Homo-oligomer: A and B are copies of this chain.
């Protein structure tokens, strides 16, 4: 069987399962999630053994420390994956919710109800926890899932997928609800991208390269996730101490994630007081400062920031700073360099705060808070499948509701169209 046949066979199973999952009751889904969690704990040894193989291969291949850290599993991490599934079981079932219903002059009653998307494909990198999270969220929202993780995690993913799909099936979910593509070459992913009629939506999770490849090649609908060149604009009326806390948080708490800040804009009237105080705090935290000529004239240790710096999502302890004349220049800069992910203004000026909210086009726009809050659990969604940076279907953190679509139901009494 070649890879194309293999993927289509998996997708056919997923499609059949999706049909059954769409009408399955909430209790069965929740029981399955708990059974999956228990099975992960029971099979911890087996999963860790598989993971050790991946780690050994990864080290031999020379994966970076950060990549190895994402790949690595231990008891605590497996517990936390299981806990994640239990938490999903506590969340409200989004399926079947009647969003609206109205009566037309001809007495037709038209309602709109929430239904699953069907088959969800996830293409991701070497992070075994995504295998569990994505499966849990898809199951709870009544979808079947086709998982295609990075080759570096294949042994871990096989062990995990076998564990959770078996537990799900034993708990009453249809066979084929959770599917792992065990062929990790690029061809299998490319096949998934063109499976119109089988896959209802494809969600790439990972770096810009992966996401762009999916957007370019897919003919099935895609939800773009992730790239965040996030800005914070410190207006002239900002509270200085609080602004420093927010910037430290947004830049350093977890620099490698998409909602970390990458670029700082500072109003010229506050720059001379603010920037030295900020530098004093950031430099001991190993943050490299780069800046426009004005920034450099205030912080002598700052390197020069190029056009490219302002366009770069560093995902690292580097901060590019620009002094701006006013909010208009800040808005212009964000329009030019932003990636429509998360943008913040720190200000005490009411008019500027509202202008920033209204005029910045991004998934999440903040007044006086860290951009790090753009996250499903921070928003209160309980769990997250990713953060959409496109405008269709879902924008921002995506939880269970974002894994659903709607259907119109129409109750008639024999009406015909005039």
Which of A117, A223, A367, A405 neighbours the largest number of chain B CB atoms within 10 Å of its CB?
A405
The reply to whether B410 and A367 form a contact with Cβ atoms under 8 Å apart is yes
Given the known interface contacts A391-B201, A405-B391, A416-B246, the answer about A410 and B196 at a Cβ–Cβ threshold of 8 Å is no
Q: Which residues of B contact A219 (CB under 8 A)?
A: 215-216
Contact A414 B245 (CB under 8 A): yes
Instruction: Given A373-B108, A392-B221, verify A239-B409 contact (CB < 8 Å).
Output: no
Q: Which residue of B lies closest to A409 (CB)?
A: B357
Cα–Cα distance between A266 and B221 once the two chains are bound (Å): 35
Chain B residues near A412 (CB-CB < 8 A): 366-370
In the complex, the answer to whether A408 meets B363 with C-beta atoms within 8 Å is yes
Tell me the chain A residues, 196-249 only, with Cβ under 8 Å from chain B. Answer: 196, 200-201, 215-216, 219, 221-223, 239, 242, 245-246, 248-249
Q: Which residues of B contact A406 (CB under 8 A)?
A: 395-396
A301 on interface, CB distance cutoff 8 Å = no
Complex interface residues of chain A between 341 and 365 (CB less than 8 A to chain B) = 357-359, 361-365
Chain A interface, DSSP helix/strand/loop, else mixed: mixed
A328 at the interface (CB under 8 A from B): no
Q: How large is the interface on A (under 10, 10 to 19, 20 to 34, 35 or more residues)?
A: 35 or more
Distance to closest chain B CB from A290 (angstroms): 23
Q: Which residue of B lies closest to A96 (CB)?
A: B358
Q: Across the two chains, which residue of chain B brings its CB closest to A102?
A: B380
Expressed in whole angstroms, the Cα–Cα distance for A266 and B215 within the complex equals 44
Give CA–CA (A131, B167) in the complex, Å: 54
A311 at the interface (CB under 8 A from B): no
> When the two chains form their complex, are residues B410 and A365 in contact, meaning their CB atoms are under 8 A apart?
yes
Q: Which of B253, B362, B414, B415 is in CB contact (< 8 Å) with A373?
A: B415
Q: Point out the residues of chain B lying under 8 angstroms from A90, CB to CB.
A: none
A359 touches B245 (CB 8 A): no
Interface residues of A in 313-345 (CB under 8 A from B): 335
Q: Is A407 an interface residue (CB 8 A)?
A: yes
Verify if A86 is at the interface (C-beta below 8 Å from B).
Answer: no
Instruction: List, in ascending order, chain B residues with CB within 8 A of A359's CB.
Output: 22-23
Are B22 and A242 neighbours in the complex by a CB distance under 8 Å?
A: no
Complexed CA–CA distance, A131 and B363 (Å)? 30
Contacting pair B104 A368 (CB below 8 A): no
User: Which listed residue, B201, B357, B367, B391, touches A118 by the CB 8 Å rule?
Assistant: B391
Q: Shortest CB–CB separation between residue A163 and chain B, in angstroms?
A: 30
Is residue A115 contacting chain B, with contact meaning CB distance below 8 A? yes
State the Cβ distance, A386 to closest chain B Cβ, in Å. Answer: 14
- Write the nearest CB–CB distance from A63 to chain B, whole angstroms: 28
Q: Chain B residues near A253: list those with CB within 8 A.
A: 416-417
The A381-412 residues at the B interface (CB cut-off 8 A) are 390-393, 395-396, 405-412
Given contacts A104-B378, A393-B392, contact A245 B416 (CB under 8 A): yes
Q: Please, which residues of chain B bring their CB within 8 A of the CB of A19?
A: 335, 361
Q: Please give me the residue from chain B that is nearest to A360 by CB atom.
A: B407
What B residues does A410 contact at CB under 8 A? Answer: 364-367, 369, 373
Report chain B residues within 8 Å CB of A408.
Answer: 363-365, 374, 379, 395-396
Tell me whether A372 is interfacial, beta carbon within 8 Å: yes
Assuming the contacts A19-B361, A215-B219, asked whether A395 and B407 have C-beta atoms less than 8 A apart, the reply is yes
Q: How far is the CA of A357 from the CA of B407 in the complex (A)?
A: 9
Which residue from B221, B246, B372, B379 sits with its C-beta under 8 Å from A221? B221
Most buried by B among A23, A357, A409: A409
Q: Is A364 touching B407 in the complex (CB atoms < 8 A)?
A: yes
Task: Kindly list the 4 A-B residue pairs having the minimum CB-CB distance in the complex, ordered from nearest.
Answer: A369-B412, A249-B416, A391-B405, A372-B417
Could you name 28 residue pairs across A and B whose Cβ atoms are closer than 8 Å?
A: A110-B379, A110-B380, A117-B392, A200-B391, A200-B392, A201-B391, A223-B392, A239-B414, A242-B414, A245-B416, A246-B416, A248-B416, A253-B416, A365-B407, A365-B408, A368-B413, A369-B412, A369-B414, A369-B415, A370-B412, A370-B415, A372-B416, A373-B415, A378-B417, A392-B405, A395-B406, A395-B408, A396-B408
